[in-house]
Amino acid sequence: MICWSGSFYPQPITNWKRKSTVGLSIDLSTINPLGFVCYTIYTSAFLFSPVIRSQYAARYPASPEPTVRFNDLAFAAHAALLSTMMYTQFWPFIWGLHVSRVQRVSWTMAGLFWGSILFPLVVMAIVLVRSPDGGYDPSSWAWIDVIYSFSYIKLLITVVKYMPQVALNYKRQSTVGWHIGTILLDLAGGALSMLQLVLDSSLQSDWSGITGNPVKLLLGNITIFFDAIFCIQHYVLYRDPPDLKGTHGAGEQTPLLVERDPSV
């Protein structure tokens, strides 16, 4: 929790010091808060809702205690707050930071955002229509499926959100503006989250606790995978970033690169 929570500080601090958001993907920053709001709903329901906990126990009788812990909720709520704050850094009238003219949310990410809001509503409608008792029978469509829908949204967002940043680093041939401290802390958090899930299931002597909490299992693996890519980009591929004030020859300045990183 400490590693993952700490990973939300280097990037906004860097943006503030550079007075610029150049180098940070606006697609990542736009979709990230929604993912953590969904994860907050998911973890809080498994911790505090008697209905959800009883339905979980009915579906997983061999391991009736969910492997969601309070530190998961604390992390999710903190992440939702910090990621929302970082998104507002793309609003110059709030922070006064430089935002490049090319930093616009893509149609793909906008579609994912609104689709993610619509999906739980669709699942809720299915529960109300298909369930024989209004969603309380765990053997049919139930309220736990609505809560699981929030976890699937978080999972999908985690799979997709890193891709624009990977593509942006590749396009710029640089990781300038994308703080590596965020990645190292995120990588440590993903590894420790996986270890916690294994230990929880081991102490309960039932490995179904892992399959009963698929979002935590997959989030850890996805985090490790993408963080490995970022480390390769930063330490190997773009270790020596191109001169952003380079020339095309004959003394001609490169305006596109200067626009992308005016702080250099």
Report d(CA 7, CA 162) in Å as an integer: 14
Query: Do 204 and 65 contact (CB within 8 A), yes or no?
Result: yes
Residue of 189, 172, 163, 154 whose CA lies nearest to 80: 154
| Residue entry with tokens 């773009």 | 238
Q: What pLDDT, on a 0 to 100 scale, did the predictor assign at position 231?
A: 94
Q: What pLDDT, on a 0 to 100 scale, did the predictor assign at position 263?
A: 44
Domain ranges of the chain: 2-260
Q: What pLDDT, on a 0 to 100 scale, did the predictor assign at position 72?
A: 85
**Mean pLDDT computed over every residue of the chain:** 85
Secondary structure in 3-state letters for the chain: CHHHHHCCCHHHHHHHHHCECCCCCHHHHHHHHHHHHHHHHHHHHHHHCHHHHHHHHHHCCCCCCCCCCHHHHHHHHHHHHHHHHHHHHHCHHHHCCECCCCCCCCHHHHHHHHHHHHHHHHHHHHHHHHCCCCCCCCCCCCHHHHHHHHHHHHHHHHHHHHHHHHHHHHHHCCCCCCCHHHHHHHHHHHHHHHHHHHHHHHHCCCCHHHHCCHHHHHHHHHHHHHHHHHHHHHHHHCCCCCCCCCEEECCEECHHHHHHCCCC
Q: What is the percent of the chain where pLDDT is above 70?
A: 86
Among 65-69, 125-129, 193-197, 214-218, the range with the most confident prediction by mean pLDDT is 125-129
Q: What pLDDT, on a 0 to 100 scale, did the predictor assign at position 36?
A: 95
Q: What pLDDT, on a 0 to 100 scale, did the predictor assign at position 228?
A: 93
Mean pLDDT value of segment 228-234 = 94
Mean pLDDT value of segment 20-44 = 94
Mean pLDDT value of segment 208-222 = 68
Residue of 76, 68, 6, 67 whose CA lies nearest to 37: 76
Q: What pLDDT, on a 0 to 100 scale, did the predictor assign at position 210?
A: 66
CA distances in angstroms from 159 to 60, 182, 217, 222, 226, listed in the order given: 27, 17, 13, 7, 9
Stated length of the chain: 264
If one compares 199 and 73, the residue with the highest pLDDT of the two is 73
Dump pLDDT digits (tens) for 94-149: 999 998 887 889 999 999 999 999 999 999 999 999 888 888 888 889 999 999 99
Report d(CA 4, CA 9) in Å as an integer: 10
Mean pLDDT value of segment 208-225 = 71
CA distances in angstroms from 216 to 5, 44, 50, 95, listed in the order given: 15, 14, 21, 34
Q: What is the percent of the chain where pLDDT is above 90?
A: 57
Q: Is the pLDDT of residue 220 over 80?
A: no
Residue of 65, 46, 47 whose CA lies nearest to 57: 65
